[in-house]
Structure 1
Amino acid sequence: RSAQPQGRPIGRKKMKCRLIAAAAILLGENVASTSAFLSKTRLSISPTRSMMSARKAVALGLDDEISRWAKKAGYGDVTSSKPNGSSGWASFRRVSLSDGPELFVKSGGRSCKDMFEGEALGLQAMFECSRGEDGLRIPEVFHYGDLPDGKGSFLVMEYLNLRGRGDDRALGRAVAKMHMAAPTAEAGNPTISYGFPMDNTIGGTLQKNAWSNGGGTDEWVKFYSEKRMAYQLDLAGDSYCSKLWNDKIAPRLGALFEGVDVQPSLLHGDLWSGNIGSADGEPSVFDPAVYWGHHEAEWGMSW
C-alpha cells in the first residue's frame, strides 16, 4: 500500500500565480496587468504541508494493543504482524488474525490521536456514502487511539490489496455517487451544512472544519473563503496576500456562484493521484482530508 508523501510545499511562484489568476478574474482585469501590479510586492510563502519527522516503530506495544482489541472483538489471536511500508510520519503494518479480517495498521511514534481520529471519521463517512453498486471501495475502520504507554497512536482498518489506478470512468462514477449521497447523521452531517464533525489534517497541515450555518450557496462561499483560502493565507504568513484576498477578492467571490445552487457533498478532500488505486478491480481512495463542501472543490485538489 503506497502512502502519500507528506510535506509537499506550495512554492512561492505557484502561490503567486494562483493569486494573480484569482485577482484577474474577480477584479475584471487581464492577467498581465494584474501580474504587473502584484510584482511590486515580495512574497514570503511558508510550506503549507509541513514535513513530519520520521519516528521509530512502536511495533511491540502496537501488537500488544491489537492483540487485546482482537480478542475483545471476537477475532481471535494475532497470527502475523509484518511491516508494510511507511511514510514520512507513520509506519504501516499488515496484521493477520485467526478469526477475523486482514488488517492494515497505521501508527505514529508520538501521540497523534486527533489526526488518526480525523482520518477514521473521514473513512467512515466515505464508507457510508459509497454503499451499494458502483461505489468506491473504502477500507472499513475498526479501531484507533493512543497506545497505553503514551508513546504513539494508531489506526486499524481493513487491509485492501491495492493496485494502481484502474478504470477512470468507474472511478468518476464512484466519486460522483459519493458526492451525490444525501447528508445524514450516519455520514457525519446531521445539519446539512458545510464542514465536518472535527478539524482534520491534509498532509501534516491542520484543516479547519467548523460547521457552517446550514447549506446553500452563500454559506459555501463564506466557508470556502474563511476556512480554506483565508486560513491558508494566514499560514503562509504574507500580510500583502492576506490583504489582497480580504479586501479585493473575497468580497467578490460570490459573483462566481451567481445562479448556482450549491449543496453539501462529501469530499475526499485530497484526491491527488497518489491517493487513488484499485482493490479487486474496484476504484478505491484513501488517505483522505474529508469534509462536506461544494463537489467541484474536489477537483481543485486533484492532479
Structure 2
Amino acid sequence: MHRTLQLLATLGSAAALAPIRHRRSTVVMGGAGDVKKWFADSGRGDAKPSGGSLGGSGWAQTGKWVTNDAQYFVKQTSQSYKSMFAGEAAGLTAMRLASESGGEPALRIPEVFHAADFDDGKGSFIVMEFLTMGRGGDAETFGRAMARMHLATPDDPEAASGKFGFPVDNTIGATPQPNGWDDDWIKFWSEQRMGHQVNLAGDASIDRLWQQLKPRMHEFFDEDEDIQPCILHGDLWSGNIGTAAGAPSVFDPACYYGHHEAEWGMSWCASLGSGFWAGYRELIPEAAKFRMRRPLYEAYHQLNHYNLFGGGYRNAACGCLEQCLGSLD
C-alpha cells in the first residue's frame, strides 16, 4: 500500500466537505485529556503542554507538548478530524515523501504521528513532529527544493497514473476544497477549483465573468502541452514558509496533485524573489504561457479570500478574471 494511503487507512478516511461560505470554527483548547492519553497509549510516556499557545487562527489553536525525551507540535480545533485534519495529515505525508525522494536540497516537512476526534465528539487534534522554525534562509536553495518536490514521482497510484486530485477532500483555510480524481486538468481546475469558489461566492458579477471565461479555459494551454500531476502545497504564502535546522520548510498545507504552476497562485503574498526563481528555474524552466496563466491560478485564491473574509478581495478576484479575459482578446 502506498504510504499516503496507508496513513489514511490508519487515521480514517475523510468525509466529503459541504460547500459552506464563510465557514468558521470556534477554537477549543479542551481535549487535553485525550491528547495526554494518546501519548501514554502510544508508548511515548507522560506528556504535557509547554510554553502556552503557539498561536492559531479562527479555526485552530496550536501548542508544543513535551515528554521526557521529545517535543511535539499539537493542533486542536472544534471541528471534526474528518473535516479538518485528515487532509492535513495526508498532505504533509505526501509532501514529505516527495521531498525525501526528490534529492537534495530537500524541504523539511514535519512527520505526522496521529490525528483523531476528541472522545466527546466536540473537536479533534493532530500530533506531529515539532520543528524549531526560523525565517530567512537561502532563497535559491528554497527554489530548488520546491522544484525537486514538484518533480518527484507521486506516491499516490491515482496521481502516478496521470490523474489530478487527492485521496481526500480537505480545506484551504476554513473553506472546503474538493479533490475528486480527474484525468483532465482543465476540467479539474474549472469544476473543483474555480467553479467551486464561484458557487460559494454567490456573486452575480463574479459569476458573469466566470461564465465568459469558462468555455475558453483551453486557450490557456497549448495543444501539445503535457501537464503532469505533482504534489502541491496548495496554500503557499509567507506565513506557511520557514526554515528548520537551516533547511527550507513549508507547512499548514492544502495539498493536492495538480499542475506545478498552480502552486504560485498565492505568490502575491509569498515574497518569492529573484533568488527563489533562479533556483526553481534551474530545474523547471518557465513555460511559454506561464505569465498568461498566473492570474488564472491567482483568481482561485482571491476568490477564496473573498469567501472567507469579504471586503476588497471581491475587487481583486474580479480583477484576476478580467485580466484572464483580456489576455485572450
Instruction: Give the TM-score, by structure 1 length.
Output: 0.75
Structure 1 residue 140 corresponds to structure 2 residue 111: yes
Find the residue that maps to 1:194 and give its secondary structure.
coil
Task: Kindly report structure 1 stretches of 4+ aligned residues shifted beyond 4 Å.
Answer: none
Alpha-carbon displacement from aligned partner over 1:158-214 (angstroms, at most 9, x marks no partner): 11101113211111111101100112238x7354310011111111111111100x3
**Aligned equivalent of 1:44:** none
Task: Determine if contact 1:78/1:95 at 8 Å carries over to the other structure.
Answer: yes
- Out of 130, 147, 165, the position equivalent to 1:159 is 130
Q: Structure 1 counterpart of 2:159, which letter?
A: N
Report deviation, 1:92. 1.2
- How many correspondences in the alignment? 245
Q: Name the CA distance, whole Å, in 1 between partners of 2:56 and 2:186.
A: 37
Gaps in structure 1 of 5+ consecutive residues: 1-47
Q: Name the CA distance, whole Å, in 2 between partners of 1:202 and 1:221.
A: 20
Task: Determine if contact 2:25/2:77 at 8 Å carries over to the other structure.
Answer: no
Structure 1 residue 233 corresponds to structure 2 residue 198: yes
Q: Name the CA distance, whole Å, in 2 between partners of 1:207 and 1:296.
A: 18
- Out of 95, 99, 102, the position equivalent to 1:130 is 99
> Given the superposition, is the C-alpha separation of residues 184 and 86 from structure 1 closer, same or farther in structure 2, using an over 3 Å criterion?
closer
Structure 1 residue 254 corresponds to structure 2 residue 250: no
Structure 1 residue 116 corresponds to structure 2 residue 85: yes
Task: State the identity as a percent.
Answer: 50
Task: Determine if contact 1:49/1:203 at 8 Å carries over to the other structure.
Answer: no
**Aligned equivalent of 1:288:** 253
Task: Determine if contact 1:136/1:282 at 8 Å carries over to the other structure.
Answer: yes
Q: Name the CA distance, whole Å, in 1 between partners of 2:185 and 2:240.
A: 25
Spell out the pairing of 1:97-116 with structure 2 (5 A cutoff): 97-99=67-69, 101-116=70-85
Alpha-carbon displacement from aligned partner over 1:16-57 (angstroms, at most 9, x marks no partner): xxxxxxxxxxxxxxxxxxxxxxxxxxxxxxxx9836244342
Q: Structure 2 counterpart of 1:283, which letter?
A: P
Report deviation, 1:88. 2.0
Q: Name the CA distance, whole Å, in 2 between partners of 1:111 and 1:236.
A: 24
Spell out the pairing of 1:40-79 with structure 2 (5 A cutoff): 50=22, 52-58=24-30, 61-62=31-32, 64-78=33-47
Task: Determine if contact 1:189/1:197 at 8 Å carries over to the other structure.
Answer: no
Return the index of the structure with the highest Cα Rg: 1
Q: Structure 2 counterpart of 1:69, which letter?
A: W
Q: Structure 2 counterpart of 1:180, which letter?
A: L
Q: Name the CA distance, whole Å, in 2 between partners of 1:236 and 1:103.
A: 38
**Aligned equivalent of 2:172:** 202
Q: Structure 1 counterpart of 2:145, which letter?
A: A
Find the residue that maps to 1:189 and give its secondary structure.
helix
Task: Determine if contact 2:49/2:63 at 8 Å carries over to the other structure.
Answer: no
Report deviation, 1:70. 2.2
Task: Determine if contact 1:51/1:88 at 8 Å carries over to the other structure.
Answer: no
